[in-house]
Amino acid sequence: MKIRILPIIIVILMLFSAIHVIGIDSNGDDNLNLCEENFQVSFSKVSIETKGEYVSLNLEEATTDLMAAGKPILPVYIKTFVFPRGTKITNVECIISDISSEVISGKIQPSPKPVPKISLDTLSQNNNEEIIIDNKVIIEEDESVYSSSELFPDKWYTYKTYAGLINDQDSIIVKVTVYPTRYSPLENTIHSIDSIDIQVTYEETSNNGPLPSPYDLVIITPNKFKLWLLPLYFHKTRMNVSTKIQSVESIYEDFEGRDKPEQIKYFIKHAKEEWGIKYVLLVGGLKTHLDAKDRDNRNEGSTAWHVPVRYVQPDRWFNGHISDLYYGDIYKWNDTTQDYEFEDWDSDSDDIFLEHGEKADLYPDVYYGRLPCRNILEVRTIVNKIIKYEKPSIFGKPWMKKMIAIGGQTFRFFEGQPDGEWLCNLSIESMGDMITEAVRVYSSNNNTGGPRPIPKDIVKEYSKGAGFVLFQGHGNALAWDTYWADEEGNNNVGWAGPFMNYHMPGLRNGRKLPIVVIGGCHNGIFNTTLLKSLNDSSNLSRSVYHTYGLPILNCFSWKLVIKNRGGAIASTGCTDYGLGSGHPYYLSGALESNFFYEIGKEENPAITVGDAHSGSIIKYMDDFDISIDYSSNVYCITEYQLFGDPSLKIGGY
């Protein structure tokens, strides 16, 4: 029953809360040349649906849902405003109106816990706390919310300003997150607004021209690889991608920083500001396949690396993972100074980078990627593949318009389909006219439980050639897999794979090289070595690659790219646990699907691999409220790795 007349005290409180202003001090300067951007949205009545012991809320205008483990799932509306670099944001004002209340008949459904996308049913310990990692969707109420009469969330809206590269332009992003409906669990009441007016006041930039751009792409590599990268340099120059090769040795001599990764990041900042570069390609991984101490300390890997890596710890459960987004996220926005500043990923200045709860900008400021080559042979292999892929004679071939989607039941059924297949279908639809043929290698196509057909089918279809491939399921450093489809949501019906590194020599696709997106745990963990894999423990708290003693030289994602004949031209993968939840389009799955959305969208589609990869991060940041379950969101964003040349033209020239 909808209540329009409440006790006088509540009415007064709501009237006082009906108008909220959030703003930035303009320092008393009345002579600013101010402009305004206004936006208004009206909300329809929330519809309520009973789902078992809980109810769910649906709002037609919502752009997403609030998803945080154990907390109520509520509709969210997100609006972003994009301004060119140099703009001064002087005020953000939000006015809400017509608050109404309604008693509901049951508790609002809580969001499931994020679940690692790996095949484990293991009880272990980490940081002296017991954790269970399995493939089951777990729903538990957060008592701090459900036992309270306070409204959740605690505000009607929030806003934050970011710095990032939007459609090739350095930009300021103002993101306003609106919670049109808030929930009081103990009173079993929802409170809703009818509309919100958003007004952003800003001073226009006087900088109307782009930065000078003597270079588009900078390649960062050790001296020993420079000679073997010259063919790529000349090729890029012929393709009108002006390129500079910079050695890590020269960077260490000329740029300061707390450690070697920070020195490299300061060089990238310099290259962006002085040369106008858009693309950063890191060429160099570990120095050996045999054995290496991949971490100098909890923050970095430098000594054993040709090009160092940054380790981050955004989630308290795990021990940290590699994130090359560190090199791509150059700037953050300072609301006080109204200017860009260097984003060091250490907001509390304790020399530990992006630890649990620590805030960072996360919007990429350059398109970035890595080719973690360990020797000259690998450099020559990938350079040769890139040059051949981008030759004009390849462009427009029928196989480039083909997409292979590989999936099954990752966790459960969703909207009548195995959730991995649902996400594959969403990605296919997102590609639009970019593809003319879609081949679905799904576990539901052959749910017999007999001899495992998935690896055989993958090799067969992959060898025919395709422009794009998507894997959606579970994984480790050595393999990818998925479950047979089971409508009851049981995962004990068995695995449909696995497809392993050991199957890759059978891929006979030659020069028909796809761009491959891989959903699963640890497929992109590129600090693998032979001896460490042989000693990899089955105990979760000590396992690194989850290969359980099977030998491995290169991780699954990089193995596809570095394959001498066939394989892939570029790939993505998680450098630690991929995360899923009750909804397939969230956490790691959303980033992977966004990659194809960025390529297939009608307006400003991605034309390079780096644009698609960075764009999928930007879309995730724009689409979701990452503040409520910050560590899980940051964890997924920072481990999402690109193996490839970010300037690679999708489909060739």
Indicate which CATH number applies to the domain containing 257.
3.40.50.10390
Q: Report which of 427, 429, 436, 439 is spatially closest to residue 397, judged by C-alpha positions.
A: 436
Torsion angle of C-alpha atoms 450, 455, 460, 462, degrees rounded to 10 = 150
What's the whole-number mean pLDDT along residues 611-621?
98
What is the distance between the alpha carbons of residues 592 and 596, in angstroms, rounded to a whole number?
8
pLDDT surpasses 50 at 18: no
Q: For residue range 381-425, what is the model confidence (pLDDT) as tens digits? A: 999 999 999 988 777 889 999 999 999 999 989 999 999 999 999
pLDDT digits (tens, 9 = 90+) for 156-195: 999 999 999 999 999 999 999 999 999 999 999 999 999 9
> Cβ(228)–Cβ(380) under 8 Å?
yes
Tell me whether the omega of the peptide bond preceding residue 584 falls within 30 degrees of 0, making it cis.
no
Examine the domain organization and report whether 489 and 569 are in the same domain. yes
- 253 and 124 part of one domain: no
Per-range mean pLDDT, top range of 443-457, 540-554, 616-630: 616-630
DSSP state of 348: T
129 confidence band (pLDDT: 50, 70, 90): very low
Residue whose C-alpha is closest to residue 381's, from 224, 389, 514, 651: 389
Q: Are residues 186 and 322 in the same domain?
A: no
List of E strands, 226-344: 243-247, 279-283, 300-301, 309-312, 321-322, 331-334, 339-342
- Mean residue pLDDT of the chain comes to 89
pLDDT at residue 570 tops 90: yes
Query: Do 60 and 167 lie in a common domain?
Result: yes
What is the pLDDT averaged over residues 75-82?
Answer: 98
151 and 198 together in one domain:
yes
- Contact between 503 and 458 (Cβ < 8 Å): yes
Q: Per the structure block, which two tokens stand in for 29?
A: 């300067």
Same domain for 451 and 411, yes or no, is yes
Examine the domain organization and report whether 251 and 393 are in the same domain: no
Sorting pLDDT into bands at 50, 70 and 90, what band is 446? low
Give residue 582's pLDDT.
81
- The residue out of 155, 178, 203 marking a domain boundary is 203
Whether the predicted pLDDT of 14 surpasses 50: no
Of the spans 118-132, 391-405, 500-514, which averages the highest pLDDT? 500-514
CB atoms within 10 A of CB 184: 16
Residues 6+ apart with CB under 8 A from 485: 408, 409, 413, 418, 421, 442, 443, 444, 447
Instruction: Count CB atoms within 10 A of the CB of residue 363.
Output: 27
| β-strand partners of 369 | 281
Quick one: DSSP state of residue 434? Answer: G
Could you tell me if 397 and 478 lie in one domain?
Answer: yes
Burial of 83 (0-12, 13-18, 19+ CB in 10 A): buried
pLDDT at residue 32 in the model: 55
| Any domain includes 67 | yes
508, 511, 516, 520: CA torsion to nearest 10:
30
What CATH number has the domain bearing residue 112? Answer: 2.60.40
Percent of the chain with pLDDT over 70: 88
Is residue 24 over pLDDT 70?
Answer: no
CA distance 146 to 139: 13
Tell whether 369 is covered by a domain: no
Residue 31, pLDDT above cutoff 50: no
pLDDT of amino acid 136: 62
pLDDT band at 585 (very low <50, low <70, confident <90, very high): very high
Q: What does the pLDDT read at residue 28?
A: 44
Q: How far apart are CA 2 and CA 108, in angstroms?
A: 17
Note whether 295 and 391 are same-domain residues.
Answer: no
Residue type, 599: I
Q: Does the pLDDT at position 27 exceed 80?
A: no
Range of the domain at 293: 217-342
Q: Which two tokens stand for residue 129?
A: 């706390």
- Residue 127, helix vs strand vs coil: coil
d(CA 592, CA 583): 14
pLDDT the model gives residue 480: 96
Rounded Cα distance between 364 and 354, Å, is 15
**Closest of 275, 280, 279 to residue 211, by C-alpha:** 275
The pLDDT of residue 546 is above 60: yes
Question: Is residue 225 over pLDDT 90?
Answer: yes
Q: Tell whether 534 is covered by a domain.
A: no
Percentage of the chain exceeding pLDDT 90: 77
Look at 491 and 103; give whichever has higher pLDDT.
103
Q: Which helix (H) or strand (E) holds 8?
A: helix 8-17
What is the pLDDT at residue 467?
97
Q: End of a domain among 168, 203, 238? A: 203
Of the listed ranges 8-17, 82-91, 224-233, 576-585, the one predicted with least confidence: 8-17
Of 141, 170, 203, the residue that ends a domain is 203
CATH number at residue 599: 3.40.50.1460
Domain assignment of residue 358, yes or no: no
User: For 256-295, what is each residue's pLDDT tens digit?
Assistant: 999 999 999 999 999 999 999 999 999 999 999 999 999 9
- Round to the nearest angstrom and report the end-to-end CA distance of the chain: 62
CA distance 436 to 431: 10
Q: How many residues does the chain have?
A: 653
Rounded distance, CA 145 to CA 197, Å? 28
Quote the CA–CA distance of 486 and 223 in Å, as a whole number.
53
Count of domains for the chain? 3
pLDDT of 124 above 60: no
Same domain (yes/no): 475, 420: yes
Residue 606 has pLDDT above 90, yes or no: yes
pLDDT value, residue 366? 98
Q: What is the pLDDT of residue 120?
A: 43
Distance CA 192, CA 172 (A): 30
CB distance 109 to 55 below 8 Å: yes
pLDDT band at 240 (very low <50, low <70, confident <90, very high): very high
- pLDDT band per the 50, 70, 90 thresholds, residue 206: low
- Residue 603 CA to residue 451 CA, distance in Å, equals 45
Q: How confident is the model at residue 451 (pLDDT cuts 50, 70, 90)?
A: very low
Which is higher by pLDDT, 212 or 511?
A: 511
- Specify if 286 maps to a domain: yes
The total of other beta-carbon atoms located within 10 Å of residue 424's CB is 31
Same domain, 23 and 100: yes
pLDDT of residue 1: 36
What mean pLDDT do residues 140-154 have?
95
Q: Is residue 352 part of a domain?
A: no
Three-class SS of residue 538? coil
- Whether 31 is covered by a domain: the verdict is yes
For residue 108, list its beta bridge partners.
55
- How, if at all, do strands 279-283 and 217-221 pair? parallel
Strands 570-574 and 331-334 come out as unpaired
Is residue 120 located within the same domain as residue 186?
yes
The DSSP element (H or E) to which 424 belongs, if any, is helix 419-431
Is residue 139 within 8 A of residue 223, CB to CB? The reply is: no
Averaged pLDDT, 624-644? 96
CA distance 159 to 264: 32
What is the helix (H) or strand (E) element at residue 407, kind and residue range?
A: strand 402-407
CA distance 479 to 476: 5
Question: Per-residue pLDDT for 211 more than 80?
Answer: no
| 103: in domain | yes
Tell me the C-alpha to C-alpha distance, in Å, between residue 485 and each of 77, 122, 420, 490, 552. Answer: 34, 23, 10, 9, 29
